Structure 1
Amino acid sequence: MDIQGQAAIVTGGGSGLGAATARALAAAGAKVAVFDINADAASAIAHEIGGIAVRCDVSDGPGAASAIAAAREAHGAARVLVNCAGIGTAKRILGRDGPQPLEDFDRVLRVNLLGSFNMLRLAAADMAALDPLADGERGVIVSTASVAAYEGQVGQAAYAASKGGIAALTLPAARELAQFGIRVMTIAPGLFLTPMMHTLPAEVQASLGASVPFPKRLGKPEEYAALALHCVQNAALNGEVIRLDGALRLPPR
């Protein structure tokens, strides 16, 4: 898809992978709506790239529908959705205080998995009503899983389950939405220099980066953004989960 002049939505666009993706889409000529639960962060990125900011809790059905309506009002229906909103938690299934609270597991799944599906279904409805482009394409949806979907570590049960769900959702969604000319892709990043990673001491960051076979460093958000942009632009990519991890395979701990 040539995204010059097309409307795009990036969830979690106020920081990290989402902010880098919003910048990349805007640089390629897209009209970008930056969705984030942190309104100030969304506004800062939107101001930087000449887009619009929309506060959005991706796990809230009516709220997300209202956010998409606001983006549609400003830019028209989006042909591109990149799902970057997500949260992580480190908690054992059985800890010193007993079993993991069910609400902790539920919260991670609601934001990561249900939130990604919520945005996918709402954006797809708008895309399906658009006129097809020259090649019959109407839209592209890119979601974010994680290598934890395949090698979840101790303490990552909720996070790995949520990201595994996103990976498993990719192919059936792509098959179903193909009739409308909508492609569905997922990126599964490894260890990336995100805001969460920035909270760790420098020596811990360096140690984690050194565990990557090559390049021996943490991934850069711009590298994720470049792949997301390519997924949008390359019409042959559909129904696939792409690992972006420098050949990393996570150990149990």
Structure 2
Amino acid sequence: MSLTTAALVTGGTSGLGLAVAARLMASGVVPVLLGRSEERGEAALKSLGGPAVFVRGDVASEPEVAGALDAAERHGSLRAVVNCAGVPHAARVLGRSGPHSLDRFVEVVTANLVGTFNVVRLAAARMAGNEPVGEERGVIVNTASLAAFEGQVGQAAYAASKGGIVSMTLPLARELAGSLIRVVTVAPGFFHTPAVATVPAAARAELDRDLVHPRRWGDPAEFAALVAHVIDNPMINGETIRVDGAVRMSSGLRHRSS
């Protein structure tokens, strides 16, 4: 990438997104971090210690995403967008307290799927105006999850939101090919992120049983390395790439959470 290239990283203030931002910045890209927390944004900029930018906003808000894209374009050509923003969720459809909250289902799908699509559509409109560099004008990398393929009990909302990202990858890539924009999705398995801290120890132990090789949880830097390769490799397009150490999740029927 050119040293004048800017990249938007949603959810870039922690976890996988922050690792992506650090990797891009190391290659000379100016990462613009979109997130909802000013506190995490300030901490992320301090951690990165370079020419990164934080913009407070929600991926499901058109004006807030537009503001983040404006910020990116002030620092160079917007050539890459990496969608890492999202919310975890686990609740049974028929729990101890009654049926799954419909409002919560909508919130999860809005944050993970609708928010991702909102960023894709707005970013693609900006990228389409770029002068081509080589064979392309830009690349968009979305984040799904292995739950999109084998969600456990209690993951109906989360799996639906991430499965939607997987399902729209190929049609987006086919349509945006006319604008020389690639679209790729990465589906991570178990990675050490701040969200892991909310997982009860017993549930974590159950997940550990599904590990294959390597028998450990991933480092966010390993996720970022794959994203960087996707951005640099023009032949990767319209694909969902699993990065999970061969994990295949069990049904989760041993868990009795509501």
**Superposition TM-score tier, normalisation by shorter sequence:** over 0.9
Q: Distance in 2 between matches of 1:248 and 1:170?
A: 22
Give 1:91's aligned residue.
91
Q: Distance in 2 between matches of 1:207 and 1:215?
A: 16
Q: Distance in 2 between matches of 1:204 and 1:88?
A: 14
- Structure 1 residues not aligned, in runs of 5+: none
SS in 2 for 1:142: strand
Q: Are residues 111 and 230 of structure 1, via their aligned partners in 2, closer, same or farther at CA, if it must alter by over 3 Å? A: same
Q: Distance in 1 between matches of 2:93 and 2:71?
A: 40
Pairwise CA RMSD? 1.6
Identity of aligned residues (%): 50
Report whether the alignment pairs 1:78 with 2:70. no
- 1:136, CA displacement in angstroms? 2.5
- 1:115, CA displacement in angstroms? 0.4
Note the 1:57-206 alignment, pairs <5 A: 57-73=58-74, 75-133=75-133, 135-200=134-199, 205=204
SS in 2 for 1:79: strand
Q: Indicate conservation of the 8 Å contact 1:206/1:217, yes or no.
A: no
More moved, 20-29 vs 56-65: 56-65
- Structure 2 residues not aligned, in runs of 5+: 253-258
Q: Are residues 90 and 203 of structure 1, via their aligned partners in 2, closer, same or farther at CA, if it must alter by over 3 Å? A: closer
SS in 1 for 2:186: strand
More moved, 79-88 vs 40-49: 40-49
Q: Deviations over 1:187-214 (max 9, x none)?
A: 0001111111133466764663453100
- 1:5, CA displacement in angstroms? 2.9
Q: Indicate conservation of the 8 Å contact 1:83/1:142, yes or no.
A: yes
Normalised TM-score (structure 1): 0.94
Q: Aligned residue pairs: how many?
A: 250
Q: Indicate conservation of the 8 Å contact 1:108/1:162, yes or no.
A: yes
Normalised TM-score (structure 2): 0.92
More moved, 97-106 vs 64-73: 64-73
Q: Distance in 1 between matches of 2:191 and 2:121?
A: 28
Q: Indicate conservation of the 8 Å contact 2:32/2:68, yes or no.
A: no
